Every structure is written in C-alpha cells, then in structure tokens.
Amino acid sequence: MTDMALAEPRTDRSLPGGGFALAVAGAAAVMLLAFAAGLPKLAEPGIDNDSLMRLVTVRDLLAGQGWFDPTQYRMGPEGGFAMHWSRLVDAPIALLVALFGEAVAAFVWPALLLIAALALIVAISERLGGAEARFPALVLAVTALHFLATFSPGTFDHHNVQLVLALAMLAGLLAGTGRGGLAAGAAGALSLAVGMETLPLVAAAGAGAALTFWLRGREEGRVASGFGLGFAAAAAVTLGATLSSAAWWQTTCDAYSGGHAAVAVVAGLGLAAAARFSGQRSAATRLGALAATGAAVQAVVLFALPGCLADPYADLDPRLTDYWLDWVSEAQSVATMLRSDPAQAATHYVTPLVALVLLATGAVARGNGRARLLAFLILATATIVSWWQVRGAVFSMTLAVPVLAGWIARMRGRAAADGTRGSLRLAAAWLLSFNVGWGLAVQGAAALVSPRSPDARAAAIERKNAAACRKEADFAALAGMPATTVLAISNLGAPILAFSRHRALAGPYHRNETGNLAVLDALLGPAEAARSIAARQHVGIVAICPGNPETQVLARRAPDGLLAKMLGGDVPVWLLPVETGAALQLYRIRSAIAP
C-alpha cells in the first residue's frame, strides 16, 4: 500500500508576524466590552458559582491548606468532601492574589489567558487561511469570546484554561514539526490534568496525529513522535505535581488519577515508538504498529479504569439527577436547548456546523488537506460533545473561528475580481460567521411571532436578576451572623462560602452527594422532617432566596414541601425570621438561639 497524499504542511515555527500585537489589541477590546456591560461577574459574582468556588479554594490554599489536600471543609456534611479540581489552576491564581490581591487578580488572570487564546486563534487561522485570515479571526474571536464571557473579569474557573490548552494542542499539530507535536501532546496532557471534560478533544488530537502519520509516513513521524513523547512526559509530571503518592493508585473517573496517567504514558510512548520504528515502512506496517498501540491502551484502560467507560453521572442518586443535574444550564443537551431556548441554541450550534461544512468541502485552506483534516477531527469532536452537554460549545464555537476566518479571507480575495457578486458573497460570509448573529435572528423571528415590548423584556430581566441573590451585598447580613452551617439551595453554596465564614450544606458539585441530598430532603419534604435533618447536620441558619431560579423550580416540583410553604408565608414555628432587607431571607433555628 502506498502512502496517501496530503498537502505539505507549513513548517514556519514562529507565531505569524504581529500575531501577539493583534492578540493584545483583541484582549483590550474584550475587556472594554466587559466594562461597557458593567463587569457582570464582578457586579453579580453569584452568576458564576465555579469562579467563586475556585476563589474559595485559592484562599484556603493561601491560608495553609495542603497542596495535596483537595477537601472543601466548609461545604457538605461534617468533614467536607474532596473536590475534583486541579491545583494546576489554583497555583497561578494564588500567586497573583498573594502579590496583588483578589481585585487585581480578577482582571489580570483572565486577561493573560485571553491574550494567549487570541494569539493561538490568530496563529491557527493563518495556518488554515493565510495571513489574510488574521484580521477576520480577531474580529470573530473578540465577538464570540465576549458573549461567551469565558475570559470576563472575575472568571477564575478552569474552562478558560482548558480552552487555551485545546487551542495550543491544535496549533501545535498544525505546525507540522517535532517541536509542535511535543507542545501539542504536553498541552493535551495538561488539559486532562485540569479537568476530564477535554478527554474527547485530546483523544481526537491523538487520533489526528496517528492518522496523518499512517497516511504520510515518515513526513509525519516527527509530529506523531513529538505528540506521543510530550503527552507521556507531561502526564507523568502532572501526576507527581498534583497528587500525593498515596493517591496515585486511587481510581477516580471524574478527575485526573494514576489510572489516567498510566493510560496516557502507554498511549504516548506507544505512538512515539510506532512513529520512530515504522515511519519508513509501508502504510500497512504503520497501521499494524498503531493498532498494537491501540490494543495496549485498551488493555490498560480496562485494567486501570474499569468503571470509567460508562456515563460519568451513572452513579449519581436519581433524585439529584431529577432535581438538580437536569436543570443545570451547562449540562443541557442540544434537544433540550432547542425546546427551551431556540435563540441560544442557534448561537451555540450553527457556526460550528458551518465551519465543518467548509472544512469538508475544502472551502477554507488553499489545498492544505492536512490542516483541514486535523481541524475537522478536533472541531467535529467538540461539536458532538456540545450536543451532549452545552458546556462543550465553548470549545466548538471557538475552534470554529479560525475556519470561518479562512473562509472570509478567501471570499475577500475573490471580491475584487468578482465585482458586486463577490462583495455580496463576502458580506454573506461575514454575517454567517458571527455566532451571536444567528441567535439574534432566531430571537427576532420569535418576536415577530409573539411580540413583546423591549422595555417590558428588559424590566422583567432586571427584576429577575435583582431577586436572584447574586450580589455580595445580598449576603452581608448572613456574613454578620456567628459562623454555623447554612441550609440553602445549591446555587447559594459557593456565594455563602465566598462572602461569609459559614459552611454550606449544599453546593452545585456532584461529589457533595450527601449534603445535596440532605438539603433536597429538607426543602422538598414536610417541615418536621426538615427539622430533623437540620438537627442531624448541625444547621443553625436556613436561607431562602425566592427569586433564584433553583428555588422556583424546587417549589414547583414539591408544592407541599417546606420550601414552597415558606415562599407562601407559612413559616414553621421552629424557624425565627431575621430582618435583613435583602433578597436573601434568613431564618434562625430556635434551638440554636442562646437563651
């Protein structure tokens, strides 16, 4: 079997000229847009539970909690629970906070990541569509990332880090060099250590490196070998850097563990060995070497991670699935999004599909089949993941930008020669490439069918946000009370930890199953059952936020439960109201009041 032909990759190794300057300018634009929008994550930090929780984790680290201790002691039942997050994200944020304070870190951390993301987007766009693609890439990326709010000031969660690493992984593969492959493999391993959400993307990148090596042989050997070595080395280093040796042999499916590291090392070294020893042989021999590596990886997965091939939420209590997970916005599927919010669905899902069509039809890169293949594999994987859970759209929408930028660049090159028709095509390419444009179009169509005053919509949104307990001021009265355990919905868990000294029984994290179930049983059941639960969990305060969406959902699902009764003014005698004047209503448990 002869080697299959793919176009020769570009081999320049540096970031395209002016790429960093463009990234800085784009980052400044995104930050200015955030200021114009009122810095929403700083004005209402409760809209981003994960960023608040990350900040709490950083504070604990700076206060002396052990590097290898992932326990969140102030959430859940007595003793807390082990978080599934990585210290790799805590460390740089902690350094910024220690040097400059939380207020400065809230701007600097997302800004640094944003510059890196934009620089990588510009680099990928030039690989796919030439230097002419850099400007449209910057415009599309600034717009998409602004509305995604992934890099908005006040963002401390790990999704922006994972996005940067995913972009670095693709950029390294597209470079077509050994060093590029090495960087791509290392970025893939780091992204897994940060969070297992990127596992499908990393698998697609590894498959892309293996596939191009099989098709092109020795020409791709350096890239595939570099990817494998970088992946294996970074996987081993991050294991030692983030987990104590005693935890290496503890299998976890939702967080990086020794089992994941073992699979990564075998996969990486296997790919590197296949590229090194079969690169000059026939395509059939290369395929055999890759198949042997795949078999070895499968064997290690079955041995080290036997329970991790099922649904990651399969073991979650059905009540938490019914009353919590099914209502988490970022966990919604494409079908649910289409039913509940067609405009948001259009915003998240259309541009990646357009980009995939462009890649499949060759309407982007000028004959660069290798780059198109790699970009298609990773973007298609990200798109499929986003259909399962909308959180994946952060990756698919961003990875679509370089493809769409290449298309615009190509239409721009043809516009002068094709006259009016070419100009119309260019305008259409621009319009179809803005993800927010699709959402506005669907929203406009819906308004025509069911008209509603813009002022009325704005007023309704303002009332909803004001009553959702998202501001730090909403928790001021709670912060002034003696520290105790607070029984409240999971949406309020992270703000309670961030804005007070109290512990929260519930929080929006699947590992806190015991605490979350206790709160559900208390709020959805009768008052006397809730009192017993509060006593067992040493609860001193019950906090109710009537305007929070989670409160409204739970009250509708259990109209005879404690929460619904309290919203209707029926407060049990064992709860004593505390006057706060804020959206958050507080009640002391009478037995907890000093005589």
Task: Give the pLDDT score at 1.
Answer: 38
In angstroms, how far is CA 420 from the centroid of its own chain? Answer: 42
Q: What was the pLDDT predicted at 368? A: 75
Of 279, 309, 339, the residue at which a domain comes to its end is 309
Predicted TM-score (pTM) of the model is 0.91
CATH number at residue 474: 3.40.50
Residues sharing a CB contact under 8 Å with residue 296, sequence separation 6 or more, in sequence order? 266, 270
* Same domain, residue pair 204 and 183: yes
**CA 167 to chain CA centroid, nearest Å:** 13
Of the residues 398, 423, 438, the one at which a domain ends: 438
| Residues 576 and 481 both lie in one domain | yes
CA distance linking residue 83 with residue 101, whole number of Å: 24
What pLDDT does 594 receive?
41
Report the length, in residues, of the chain: 595
Instruction: Answer yes or no: do 359 and 270 share one domain.
Output: no
Q: Check residue 462 and give its pLDDT.
A: 44
DSSP three-state, residue 466: helix
Looking at the fold, whether 348 and 411 belong to one and the same domain comes out as: yes
So what's the pLDDT on residue 209?
Answer: 96
Q: Is residue 529 part of a domain?
A: yes
Work out how many domains the chain is built from and give that number. Answer: 3
Answer whether residue 165 is part of any domain: yes
Of 289, 309, 329, the domain-final residue = 309
Alpha-carbon distance values, 158 to 54, 98, 399 (Å): 8, 19, 17
Residue 455, pLDDT score: 47
Where is 165: in which H helix or E strand? helix 159-175
Q: How far apart are CA 98 and CA 474, in angstroms?
A: 27
Let me know whether 180 and 268 are in one domain: yes
Kindly provide the b/e burial profile for residues 7-31, where b requires at least 16 CB atoms within 10 angstroms of the residue's own CB.
eebbeeeebbeebbebbeebbebbb
DSSP 588: E
Assess if residue 587 is contained within a domain.
yes
Q: Which residues contact 46 (CB under 8 A, 6 or more apart)?
A: 52, 468, 469, 470, 471, 474, 491, 492, 494, 495
Q: Is 429 within the bounds of a domain?
A: yes
**Contact predicate 127/173, CB 8 Å:** no
Region at 366 (left for phi over 0; alpha for psi -120 to 50; beta for the rest): beta
Identify the burial level of 106 via C-beta atoms within 10 angstroms of its C-beta, where 0-12 means exposed, 13-18 middle and 19 or more buried: buried
pLDDT for 311 equals 67
Q: Can you give the pLDDT at residue 513?
A: 93
pLDDT at 367: 56
Looking at the domain assignment, is residue 245 inside a domain? yes
Mean pLDDT per 10-residue section of the chain, whose length is 595 residues = 44 53 92 92 93 97 96 95 94 97 96 96 93 93 91 94 97 95 97 94 96 90 96 96 89 89 96 89 91 94 84 73 73 84 91 95 76 95 92 93 94 79 89 90 79 50 63 95 96 96 94 94 94 95 94 93 94 92 90 47
Q: Are residues 475 and 548 in the same domain?
A: yes
202 and 282 assigned to the same domain: yes
Indicate the angle between helix axes 102-129 and 134-148, nearest 10 degrees. Answer: 140
In a domain, 568, yes or no: yes
- Which pLDDT score, from 0 to 100, does residue 456 have? 45
425 and 479 part of one domain: no
Q: Checking DSSP bridges between strand 485-487 and strand 539-544, what pairing results, if any?
A: parallel
Do 278 and 289 contact (CB within 8 A), yes or no?
Answer: yes
Answer whether residue 121 is part of any domain. Answer: no
CA distances from 464 to 102, 458, 467, 495, 561 (A): 28, 10, 5, 18, 23
In a domain, 28, yes or no: no
Cα(221)–Cα(280) distance, integer angstroms? 9
Which of 519, 513, 508, 520 has its CA nearest to residue 486? 519
Same domain, 281 and 321: no
Closest CA to 554 of 331, 329, 323, 332: 323
User: 123: how many CB neighbours lie within 10 A of its CB?
Assistant: 26
Same domain, 470 and 587: yes
pLDDT of residue 412: 87
The answer to whether the beta carbons of residues 145 and 398 sit under 8 Å apart is: yes
* 285 and 329 part of one domain: no
**Residues of the domain holding 368:** 317-438
Query: What is the pLDDT, as a whole number, of residue 259?
Result: 92
Same domain, 296 and 237: yes
